[in-house]
Amino acid sequence: MSEQVLKISDFNVDFWVDGVWYPAVIDMNLELNAGKVTAIVGESGSGKSTTALGLMSLLASNARMSGSVQVKQEEMLNANASTLRKFRGREVAYIFQEPMTALNPVYTIGFQIVETLRNHFDMGPTQAHARALELITLVDIPEPEKSINKYPHQLSGGQRQRAMIAQALACDPGLLVADEPTTALDVTVQAEILDLMRGLKDKLNSAILLITHDMGVVADMADEILVMKDGITVEHGTADQIFNNPQHPYTQQLLGAVPKLGSSKKRALPYSESARPAPVLKLTDVTIEYPKRGRIPAFTAVKNFNLEIYPGEIVGLVGESGSGKTTVGRAAIGLLPIKEGTIEIVGKDISHATQKDLSSIRRHTGIVFQDPASSLNPRLPIGESIGEPIYLAGLAKGDALAHMVEDLLDQVELPRSYRNRYPHELSGGQRQRVGIARALALTPDLLIADEPTSALDVSVQARFLDLLQELQEKLKFACLFISHDLAVVDILSHRIAVMQNGLLVEEGDRDSILQKPKNDYTRRLISAVPVPDPAEQRIRREARLAAKK
Amino acid sequence: MAKKNTSAVETTTQDGGENAIFNKETEGLSQGQIVLRRFVRHRGAMTSLFIIVGLILFVFSALDQKIGPFKIPGWWHYGTEDLPELRSEGCKEGLVGCPTFSLRPKFLGGAGFGLGEHPFGQDDIGRDYFALVMRGAQRSIMVMFVIGIIGGTLGTIIGAISGFYRGWIDAVLMRFTDFIITIPAIIIGSVVGYHFGNLGVGFLAFYLGLFAWTGLSRLVRGEFLTLREREFVDAARVAGASNRRIIFKHILPNAVGVIIVSVTLLMSGAILLETALSYLGFGVVAPDVSLGLLISQYQDSFTTRPWLFWYPGLFIITIALSINFIGDGLRDAFDPRQRRRITKKDRESAKTVKKAGA
């Protein structure tokens, strides 16, 4: 049972940049036995993925490794290419974050599994096909007979990740390296994939090296945990030790930054139920359709959607990917045309507004986009990006504009000197603050935040949410906060709306939604959110499995 | 809980994380400066840039230039209209007008190091071939720039409009582009050359430019199609920017890499197009001179008087090659994924940095 699968000792990785070696992993030690799960936790840049790729010498040519990595008592570091090839896939299999890019889009998933099998074993095509079918059945892809001949794009995200797992398991590897296996997935799908991985591990007695930034996932899976920061292992212990008695301040900080569902204090609505002010945003029976293009038929993304947002409140809009929440956000600000219904912003109907009408509305609205890397023009200094709405609204020019930009930078707690910097010089968290500064440039009545934290690390996210809350309390704007993360919505919002498949399934104030959800889907969503507490996770998992049976 | 998180400090200088390592070389620079630095590091491109700039100065200062009423005298003692006597001393038996340019020193039996009277020789009627080649090179370089500018501008605008607006505008413009592409360049050139060749080389270049934009417009359109979906375009729209501002201020600067690279390659193609047309007799016509025309006029003399072939050819190759190298260097400089290959020596000489926290 406790055969040692992986032993890493004094493992170092450096990257060559411009004549200097920069360390990415420093003196790492790790032992992993069969049937166990060790998690490496850390924020982006901590060197966790580098470790995973370094195990099998998969790093780019500007990397240098030293120390020792042993898989089943055989040294992998500086091993020759044929040894490595024998071990890759056969003994050590990888599951990557993004199954769409890790699977080859021009081959069926069956073909790709068969290929792996026949590379490593002396196997005939029919035999390999039978085994592939067996594997696909094993990972619970529906209709295995049909699915084996499907291309990756014909499968849903969760199914694709299952296909990846099937491929990884093809040769019964002793060690499974899972690099952020569920980060790209919705919470409910994530829970299923984690259950699947857990079940397979017990069945096949493989060891899993789990790499993730999500403390909830770690709590669900890990026996042992390694916390990394800037390449250094800051803490190493059993899951119990790390979660219940963290020693290192960084571990404590990391755990503290994880938003926990239902732990934030009650937030009173900024208005009284009886005397509601006029809504800032009012959507009535809104239907949004993506028109048909060529042979692709028209797709109704949002149907009969009703929502009102009053001044000074934050409304959280949650749902899984594809539920239409981003579509609602974009339509609400006039970026998408609507098919039916009406949208009113500050009392003005924009459902059929022309470009000209919209420009007057835009003084009252701001939007923070999801991806900070893409939402700032890489060729403009950030001062110009922030100042653009003011300049275009004709409010200020020249020195006056520069002043206003500096004030905005102060507000989002960025140094004024950043005015002349370019987006690529800033980190993700800083870029997102620039995004807020731009959205708030015209002191809007309505701010739409479209998953602003989904690309950020937990500690950066915590800081960002604090900032947003402070600004909201100070400036009293109304906010539609779109997110897939219930815990984040819980921290911020006064009211919550839940969407599924383009329909509004439930809406109400925060506590009633989170504590007494009426809708089945809401309940499922809440129970699938991983909690950074191993004991709690076990209880939830068992409840989930019981519910399934 | 939210308040407590303030302890989870995200220090503004440290949270760069992984990017900090890879962006190290780019800190404090705008994208333009980064591109410039990468370009300067490209040895082939920099050499070519010096060659082409030197060549342009050399070629244009050689002969008398007339700009309006002003006349700038050139440093070469012959013009293209002078008719000095055909000289035959120092030439092989039966030849006249051979080049006097010599690199072989006297003690090795040569004429000594020097240009002599007619370094590139003389043509049939005694005109100085150096002056003719200089004039021809001037014409070719001019054609190159005019086609580059006109083709580049047209291609960028048409590509930008069809990529940005899509829909029927795109369909119309792209079908028009297809139509232009289907007409062979030789036919366009010959028709244009036939009608406008005698109006001077400027007209010829202008009309050729009107047909040279197709490839570029397709590239720019593709670039616009991807860039317009980026979120910063939506952000600009929300900020209230007009379509024109979005195209020129937000998207175009991001597509400039593609444009510069393909315009340089368009230019090197242009010089060859002009040469080919002149060679066929459709381009620049006598009494004006161009490199292609010179080659075509003296193609019979290749076996007997090869210098009438060498020197125009040498200039064509030098110009086209330099421009190509510059284009290549620009493409490398604009490609963010391009990194210098790391040699073994680099690996050994590199220093190790321990991070502050280590």
Q: What is the pTM of this model?
A: 0.78
DSSP code of B246?
I
Q: pLDDT: is B15 or A382 the higher one?
A: A382
What domain range includes position A385?
375-442
Q: Say if residue A398 is in the same domain as residue A300.
A: no
Cβ–Cβ below 8 Å for A463 and B350: no
Q: Say if residue A308 is in the same domain as residue A405.
A: no
* pLDDT of res. B6: 38
Residue whose tokens read 């005015």:
A419
Q: Say if residue A392 is in the same domain as residue A453.
A: no
* pLDDT of res. B7: 38
* pLDDT of res. B9: 37
Chain B residues inside the 8 Å CB shell of A443? none
Hey, how many other C-beta atoms are within 10 angstroms of the C-beta on B66?
Answer: 8
Burial A331-366 (b: 16+ CB within 10 A, else e): bbbbbbebbebebbbbeeebbebeeeebbebbbbbb
Contact B192, B280 (CB under 8 A): no
AA letter at B309: F
* pLDDT of res. B27: 42
AA letter at B310: W
Average pLDDT over residues B169-193: 86
Cβ–Cβ below 8 Å for A61 and B239: no
Least CB–CB distance from B24: residue in A18, A393, A438: A18
Asked if residue A159 belongs to a domain, the reply is: yes
Chain A residues inside the 8 Å CB shell of B8? 253-254, 256-257, 458-459, 462-463
Average pLDDT over residues B131-155: 90
Chain A residues inside the 8 Å CB shell of B240? 359, 362-363, 389, 392-393
Q: Say if residue A313 is in the same domain as residue A435.
A: no
Q: Token pair for residue A380?
A: 């403009």
Q: Considering only A302-311, B183-192, B247-256, which range has the smallest mean pLDDT?
A: B183-192
Q: Say if residue A449 is in the same domain as residue A356.
A: yes
Chain A residue with minimum CA distance to B356: A230
Could you give phi then psi for residue A179, rounded to 5 degrees?
-95, 100
Q: Which of residues 26-85 of A touch B (CB under 8 A)?
A: 26, 43-46, 61-62, 64
What lies within 8 Å, CB to CB, of A101 at 6+ separation is none
Q: Say if residue A339 is in the same domain as residue A452.
A: yes
Cβ–Cβ below 8 Å for B31 and A379: yes
Chain A residue with minimum CA distance to B256: A379
Number of folded domains that form chain A: 3
Average pLDDT over residues B44-60: 90
Please say if the pLDDT value at position B54 is more than 70: yes
Closest CA to A189 of A219, A215, A155: A155
Cβ–Cβ below 8 Å for A371 and B231: yes
Question: From the CA of B139, how many Å to the nearest CA of chain A?
Answer: 37
DSSP string covering B82-102: --PPPP-TTSPTT--S----B
| Distance from the Cα of residue B292 to its chain's centroid | 18
Q: Say if residue A358 is in the same domain as residue A449.
A: yes
Q: pLDDT: is B334 or B252 the higher one?
A: B252
Least CB–CB distance from B12: residue in A264, A377, A415: A415
Q: Token pair for residue A401?
A: 């504009």
Distances (CA, A) of A225 to A2, A242, A355: 18, 7, 54
Q: Token pair for residue A363?
A: 């003084």
Please say if the pLDDT value at position B19 is more than 50: no
Chosen CATH of B41-64+127-332 out of 1.10.760.10, 1.20.1090.10, 1.10.3720.10, 3.30.70.2740: 1.10.3720.10
The verdict on A100 touching B (C-beta cutoff 8 Å) is no
Asked if residue A15 belongs to a domain, the reply is: no
Q: pLDDT: is B200 or A228 the higher one?
A: A228
Q: Say if residue A344 is in the same domain as residue A451.
A: yes
* pLDDT of res. B4: 38
Q: Say if residue A496 is in the same domain as residue A351.
A: yes
Q: Which of residues 394-423 of A touch B (CB under 8 A)?
A: 413-415, 421-422
Q: Say if residue A341 is in the same domain as residue A383.
A: no
* pLDDT of res. B24: 40
Asked if residue A47 belongs to a domain, the reply is: no
Please say if the pLDDT value at position B14 is more than 60: no
Asked if residue A400 belongs to a domain, the reply is: yes
Alpha helices in A121-236 (DSSP H): 125-138, 144-147, 157-169, 187-204, 215-221
Mean pLDDT score of chain B: 77
Q: Say if residue A410 is in the same domain as residue A450.
A: no
Distances (CA, A) of B254 to A264, A293, B228, B232, B249: 43, 28, 11, 11, 9
Q: pLDDT: is B356 or A310 the higher one?
A: A310
Average pLDDT over residues B267-289: 80
Query: With a cut of 0.90, is the ipTM above it?
Result: no
What sign does the dihedral B294-B300-B303-B304 (CA atoms) show?
negative
Confidence of residue B18 (pLDDT cuts 50, 70, 90): very low
* pLDDT of res. A264: 66
* pLDDT of res. A428: 80
Please say if the pLDDT value at position B332 is more than 70: yes
Least CB–CB distance from B8: residue in A24, A363, A463: A463
Question: From the CA of B241, how many Å to the nearest CA of chain A?
Answer: 7
Cβ–Cβ below 8 Å for B355 and A23: yes
Question: From the CA of B146, how many Å to the nearest CA of chain A?
Answer: 28
Most A CBs within 10 Å: which of B22, B238, B334, B341, as the mutation test of the A interface?
B238
Closest CA to A474 of A400, A389, A412, A382: A412
Bridge partners, residue A225, by sequence: A39, A237
The verdict on A545 touching B (C-beta cutoff 8 Å) is no
Closest CA to A242 of A234, A10, A2: A234
Q: Say if residue A449 is in the same domain as residue A342.
A: yes
Least CB–CB distance from A392: residue in B16, B28, B241: B241
> At A494, which CATH number?
3.40.50.300
* pLDDT of res. B354: 53
Return the SS3 of B152: helix
Cβ–Cβ below 8 Å for B240 and A231: no
Q: Considering only A114-123, B156-165, B260-269, B296-305, which range has the smallest mean pLDDT?
A: B296-305
Cβ–Cβ below 8 Å for B1 and A260: yes
Q: pLDDT: is A360 or B258 the higher one?
A: B258
Max mean pLDDT range (A205-219, A269-283, B79-93, B148-162): B148-162
Please say if the pLDDT value at position B106 is more than 90: no
Q: Where are the domains of chain B?
A: 41-64+127-332
Sequential pLDDT tens for chain A (549 residues): 468 888 998 998 888 777 778 888 888 898 898 888 999 988 877 888 888 888 888 887 778 888 888 888 888 888 888 888 888 888 888 888 777 778 888 999 999 999 888 888 888 899 999 999 988 888 888 888 888 888 888 887 788 888 888 888 888 888 899 888 887 777 888 888 888 888 888 888 889 999 988 888 888 888 899 999 888 899 998 988 888 888 899 988 888 888 877 666 666 777 777 777 888 888 888 888 887 777 777 888 888 889 989 988 899 999 887 788 888 988 888 888 888 888 888 888 887 777 777 777 888 888 998 887 788 888 888 888 898 999 888 888 888 888 889 889 988 888 888 888 888 778 788 888 899 899 988 888 899 998 888 778 888 888 888 888 888 888 889 999 998 888 888 888 889 999 988 889 988 888 888 888 888 888 888 888 877 788 888 888 887 777 766
Cβ–Cβ below 8 Å for B21 and A17: yes
DSSP code of A237?
E
> Of the candidates A153, A171, A189, which is a domain's last residue?
A171
